[in-house]
């Protein structure tokens, strides 16, 4: 049972967050200052909402992207830099802020709950 849950979380992380790229702690640290402000200035290429199990963002792996995922009061900014072959992740919410792998785990804690709906925006950098 624990193995099934871990596998489900890994698949969810690959489908929504990493798209197969490694998470860079260095890149994750600069997401809020360098990349998050670009959400309003970049070119919106996709957006939507739904159950995390029904959404896949893995196909955004052909250029550099900023992806924002929101679940209630929690938000994650994910930067996929194909040019560097890495992903940076910044997570924030009431009383919590995390970067890198810790941010991925905190985001998955929110996404893997029953009856969750998420919003997402994808901006080409």
pLDDT at 9: 81
Residue 95 burial by Cβ neighbours in a 10 Å radius (0-12, 13-18, 19+): exposed
* HSE-CB of 61 using CA atoms within 13 angstroms: 16
How many domains does one find in the chain? Answer: 1
Global pTM value: 0.92
Sheet holding 43-50, edge to edge: 43-50, 118-124, 65-71, 74-81, 86-93, 96-99
Q: Note whether 104 and 24 are within 8 A (CB).
A: no
Q: For residue range 10-56, list pLDDT tens digits in order.
A: 888 888 999 999 999 999 999 999 999 998 888 999 999 999 989 99
Model confidence pLDDT, tens digit, residues 51-102? 998 999 999 999 999 999 999 999 999 999 998 999 999 999 999 999 999 9
Query: Domain limits at 17?
Result: 2-124
What pLDDT is recorded for position 10? 83
């Amino acid at each position: 049972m624990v193995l099934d849950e871990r596998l489900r979380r890994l698949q969810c992380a690959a489908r929504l967050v990493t798209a197969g790229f490694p998470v860079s702690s260095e890149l994750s640290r600069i997401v809020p200052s360098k990349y998050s402000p670009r959400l309003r200035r970049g070119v919106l290429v996709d957006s939507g909402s739904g159950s995390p199990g029904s959404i896949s963002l893995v196909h955004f792996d052909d250029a550099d992207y900023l992806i924002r995922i929101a679940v209630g009061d929690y938000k994650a900014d994910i930067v996929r830099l194909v040019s560097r072959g890495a992903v940076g992740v910044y997570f924030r919410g009431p009383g919590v802020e995390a970067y890198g792998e810790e941010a991925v785990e905190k985001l998955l804690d929110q996404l893997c709950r029953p009856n969750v709906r998420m919003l997402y925006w994808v901006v080409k950098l």
